[in-house]
Structure 1
Amino acid sequence: MHSRILRTAALIGVATLALAGCSSTGSGAPAGVKQNEKSTLEIWIRTTPGSPSETAQKAMVAAFEKKTGYKAELTAIFDDFETKLAQRAGQKDLPDIVMNDISQLGTMHTQGIVREVSAKDVPHAKDLTPQAATAGKATDGKTYAIPYSAQANALLVRSDWLQKLGLQAPKTWDDLKAVAKAFTTQDPDGNGQNDTYGLAVPASTKRGYASWYFSNFLWAAGGDFIKKSGGGYLPAMSDPASVEAMEWFRGLQCDAKVMQPGAVSMDTPPTNEAFETGVAGMYLTGPYMLPRFDKSLGADKYEVVPAPEGPKDAAVLAEGGAIYLMAGSENQKGQNAFADWYIGADAQKAGMEGTNGTFSVQLPVNKTVKVSDVRDDKRWETFATAYQEDGRYAPNIPSWTPVRQMTADTVNALLADCSLDLKAELSDLDGKLTAELLTQGILKK
């Protein structure tokens, strides 16, 4: 999962208090900060130093400098990223730009460390896909983030297993269960052992993985974790559609028994291994896994198809990276220029170039750009279509983290213990969600 979670809620208070004297209002210059367009933009990105991602982003920053004349310096940080950001907030000396997951918008907005982005200052914002434009808005309806890269889930299926068993890739939930059962019971790898399973599932409670993964099925059934209601939100896990989704998903584990062994204790790393080593034959995941699986498994061994349609539709989780313009910058025009350049057509295309993960843009957020403009690989177009037609971001409430964790705990428990009363557990969860929404000040009154 590429969504990042703040380690402690205390950081919110630290950052908010620390920034009380250097936040900005609207799109004007930050109060009390003299502007200097020649100041070097300090850019932080949440990624591993020395990784292909850092290399790709440094190339993009260099291209930005060459194109615009602004100076910028990129720093990759992964370990203790949020702690280091809070420390800089406490010093009232934030980096100018932070490149982080779009899922962090609610938290960073609540912290008071990001400034509003004006459409007139970022002209290319008009070219953002509807999903990306909406994803950059906080609960107050104002924009505080500019998505620069998107991703959405599609189904990876062992094509050699399908061929061996004379099956087709699934298109519906019924198809998915049938293929998963066949992969589990009919020895698709032909080794004579009862050692294959239908679906790879990261159902751990760690960082909310069970909820993160289940969202694809929940939304496809027309259910939700929380639902917008008037000017606030209400819990929705005990609604009929949500119950239906949970019953079906739980059935894959408790009745059909098609999930890989140990799914309830696995986050994504071991789940990735389950798919690439032939333990499981299907995996609902994002396009970022293609370079790895092409190398470890072989591109000829699997295919990419749209997520099977559920009772409602084929809604899938959408995520991606975003550019945050941080409060207190002395080069606000440079901040605007970086965001505007990155979502322009030329930069979006340049960001998609590269192989083996050395690209900075997964799927373009600029609606005038097509994946096929750069990549001659129809699998990427499948992911792009999934994003454009069915992609759905998690809501940017003040803090999505506790909602995701609470729901993950319940989803995990229902998969781990098939004797639990499903409706009672979901009703109990809605009680917890009600309390959390009240704490965040967004419970419908």
Structure 2
Amino acid sequence: MFKRKNLAVLLGVTVCTTLIAACSSNGETGQSGESGKDAGSKKPGEVSISILDRGQVASDEGTYESNRVTKYINEKSGLHVKWVPILRTQSTQKLNTLIAAGEAPDLMWEFSRDYMSNLKDQGAIQPIDDYIEKYSTSYKAYLKAHPELKPYTMLDGKTYIATSARGIDAIANHAMWIRQDWLDKLGLKTPTTMDELMVVMRTFKEKDPDGNGKNDTLGAAFNFNYTGIIQAMYAAQGGLWYLENDKIVKGNFTDRYTDVLAVLKTMFDEGLVDKEYITDKNFQKERQLFVTGKAGVYFASWNIPSEYRELKQNVPEGKLVPLEPVSTKYGKFGLFQEPPANRLIVFNKNMKDPKAAIQLLDWLIDKNWFDVRFGQEGVHYKLVNGVPQAIDAEKNKKEIIYAPEYAVVDQYSPKPEDFPIMAAQDAISQEYAKVQGESLKVAMKNKFRRDLPFNPTFPELSETQTSFSPLSEEIETKVITGGAQYSPQWGLEQLRKEWKRLGGDNVDKLAQDWYQKNVKGK
């Protein structure tokens, strides 16, 4: 029997997903409500919901508002669902604008619990306990089966957020990669400490590992995860709070953060990374350096199918392997992993049909998330040992690569051994699928240090952080690029000084009170 709940999904062009023709055609929602159940006598329930626009819908597929996936959902769910595109890079700003104008959709979602707490404080959203109890069957049962999600759904003792559990591939996030062929050529061992990693990167820069006789290689390249990876290895993530002697403190105010700044400064000063990265805001040059074979370490994500493919096309002999996080004088910590809750969905306080909203969640979580995600059997995939294998990667890339976004709640979780089955059958795809499975194992091998299940949230913190963020970026850039006059120690002192100037002492006190009430006291 096909086990959908444990389905592994290959991200990228082979992870494609949408409508399954074999799905029931009677539009049953599997819920206790009547919306859409009797089209002859009742108007379908109506609900609007945000959707992140990542620019993946081809013009001949339609738009994020209307495409084969949205039409499928409306046809099979018995609901009339209106999708409101929100540009991914401006998601919270756009939602705030829509809320202020009274034009926000009934359901809104993002990944930040902090943001949802702010919406609650603003009175923009409403608790949903009663709706779940009155209207839900499948989602209510799902929550009972996943008690680990409860802390992420509650605000001030009430349920404000609907969500589903992340699969293991969605919990894994940041990762490092290394050119094994360069290590072998230069007689180097895989680094296991930060000191060893720095030595390896210096050797990659100085010893001409690509053999072209030019001084044109770098120790590392990276995407936007670069600083977060360094921070995680020192357990000093700037966006998280840590528990230090029964007090909580922001990661970029810990003594360990001096070491983070020191590593970033050393890599810049010694030219182990391209010094123009400071102005390379979209990291396209960094990506190009890596895929053309000019960097030995890649600070990025655990799943990099396009970069891997381009590297192999440009440097066929290149052998790229996942690299475990290295230890520091503080010990060994895993790289960033997401919390167990996936998309966080909230209900607009002004929504007209909460019953339809619950019915949509019930319909998706029951089993239809799979139909939305994977496409039509025989068209987009075939089943191999109960796992959907892509038939035509290019077809899927065009027709359904955007589809997973619409499964706002789901129940899939991948298995590394399924990736080769799911991948396209060309040589590079099959080679990468095996490496991908290993990368997922490496990404989850070491536990990421997350002292609190979620960050403190209260208005004073949000306001202070908004003012502090540009100042901290300026200070850290000075430390990294400014030479000897701006030491890491100076940088940490300046960060603490600016936080204090902006009222940080009061914020820290309120954060400690929040911790005592919401975490320690639980």
Q: TM-score scaled by structure 2?
A: 0.62
Counterpart of 1:412 in 2: which secondary structure? helix
Corresponding residue number in structure 1 for 2:479: 414
CA deviation after TM superposition for structure 1 residue 293, in Å: 1.0
CA deviation after TM superposition for structure 1 residue 148, in Å: 6.6
AA of the residue aligned to 1:183 = F
Q: Which moved more, 1:272-281 or 1:403-412?
A: 403-412
Contact persistence 2:343–2:409 (CA under 8 A): no
Counterpart of 1:317 in 2: which secondary structure? coil
Contact persistence 1:171–1:308 (CA under 8 A): yes
Counterpart of 2:498 in 1: which secondary structure? helix
AA of the residue aligned to 2:106 = D
Corresponding residue number in structure 1 for 2:280: 266
Indicate whether 1:92 and 2:102 are aligned: yes
Corresponding residue number in structure 2 for 1:423: 489
Corresponding residue number in structure 1 for 2:45: 39
Change (3 A) 1:183 1:67: farther
CA deviation after TM superposition for structure 1 residue 439, in Å: 6.3
AA of the residue aligned to 2:447 = D
Corresponding residue number in structure 2 for 1:336: 358
Looking at structure 2, the residues matched to 271 and 387 of structure 1 have their Cα atoms a distance apart, in angstroms, of 25
Q: Gaps spanning 5+ residues in structure 2: where?
A: 1-41, 375-387, 421-432, 514-522
Q: Which structure has the greater CA radius of gyration? A: 2
Q: Which moved more, 1:101-110 or 1:273-282?
A: 101-110
CA deviation after TM superposition for structure 1 residue 183, in Å: 1.4
Counterpart of 2:497 in 1: which secondary structure? helix
Deviations 1:376-420 (A, max 9, x none): 324444554435853559736354665654443333221111311
Q: Which moved more, 1:386-395 or 1:413-422?
A: 386-395
Contact persistence 2:128–2:347 (CA under 8 A): no
Change (3 A) 1:263 1:57: farther
Contact persistence 2:364–2:410 (CA under 8 A): no
Equivalent residues in 2 for 1:151-162 (5 A)?
Answer: 151-162=172-183
Indicate whether 1:305 and 2:323 are aligned: yes
Q: Which of 192, 202, 212 pairs up with 2:213?
A: 192
Aligned sequence identity (%): 16
AA of the residue aligned to 1:260 = D
Change (3 A) 1:330 1:159: farther
Change (3 A) 1:134 1:57: farther
CA deviation after TM superposition for structure 1 residue 175, in Å: 3.5
Contact persistence 2:220–2:297 (CA under 8 A): yes
CA deviation after TM superposition for structure 1 residue 424, in Å: 2.5
Indicate whether 1:221 and 2:254 are aligned: no
CA deviation after TM superposition for structure 1 residue 425, in Å: 1.8
CA deviation after TM superposition for structure 1 residue 105, in Å: 3.7
Indicate whether 1:247 and 2:262 are aligned: yes
AA of the residue aligned to 2:82 = E
Looking at structure 1, the residues matched to 258 and 298 of structure 2 have their Cα atoms a distance apart, in angstroms, of 23
CA deviation after TM superposition for structure 1 residue 58, in Å: 5.8
Question: What is the count of residue pairs matched by the alignment?
Answer: 398
Deviations 1:283-326 (A, max 9, x none): 221246x2321342228632333333443333322459624223
Contact persistence 2:174–2:300 (CA under 8 A): yes
AA of the residue aligned to 2:254 = D
Indicate whether 1:291 and 2:305 are aligned: yes
Corresponding residue number in structure 2 for 1:369: 413
Change (3 A) 1:410 1:146: farther
Looking at structure 2, the residues matched to 129 and 253 of structure 1 have their Cα atoms a distance apart, in angstroms, of 45
Deviations 1:96-123 (A, max 9, x none): 2234343744554444434445476533
Q: Which moved more, 1:349-358 or 1:117-126?
A: 349-358
Corresponding residue number in structure 1 for 2:37: none
Counterpart of 2:102 in 1: which secondary structure? coil
AA of the residue aligned to 1:426 = L
Deviations 1:318-345 (A, max 9, x none): 4596242231222323333444555667
Looking at structure 1, the residues matched to 56 and 412 of structure 2 have their Cα atoms a distance apart, in angstroms, of 32
Corresponding residue number in structure 2 for 1:395: 455
Looking at structure 2, the residues matched to 319 and 360 of structure 1 have their Cα atoms a distance apart, in angstroms, of 22
Deviations 1:200-252 (A, max 9, x none): 246xxxxxx6xx64233223223343636699954453433222333234333
Contact persistence 1:284–1:307 (CA under 8 A): no
Indicate whether 1:174 and 2:180 are aligned: no
Change (3 A) 1:125 1:309: farther
AA of the residue aligned to 1:305 = L
Contact persistence 2:267–2:273 (CA under 8 A): yes
Indicate whether 1:347 and 2:369 are aligned: yes
Looking at structure 2, the residues matched to 285 and 129 of structure 1 have their Cα atoms a distance apart, in angstroms, of 32
Contact persistence 2:56–2:402 (CA under 8 A): no
Deviations 1:333-372 (A, max 9, x none): 333344455566773696477658726559x997873344
Q: Which of 314, 337, 341 pairs up with 2:333?
A: 314
Change (3 A) 1:165 1:133: farther
Deviations 1:32-83 (A, max 9, x none): xxxx993332222232445479779966655654554333233433276555
RMSD: 4.4
Indicate whether 1:71 and 2:53 are aligned: no
AA of the residue aligned to 1:292 = S
Contact persistence 2:364–2:409 (CA under 8 A): no
Indicate whether 1:278 and 2:287 are aligned: no
Contact persistence 1:155–1:283 (CA under 8 A): yes
Deviations 1:250-285 (A, max 9, x none): 33333x431223122223333222322333222221
Q: TM-score scaled by structure 1?
A: 0.71
Q: Gaps spanning 5+ residues in structure 1: where?
A: 1-35, 203-208
AA of the residue aligned to 2:492 = L
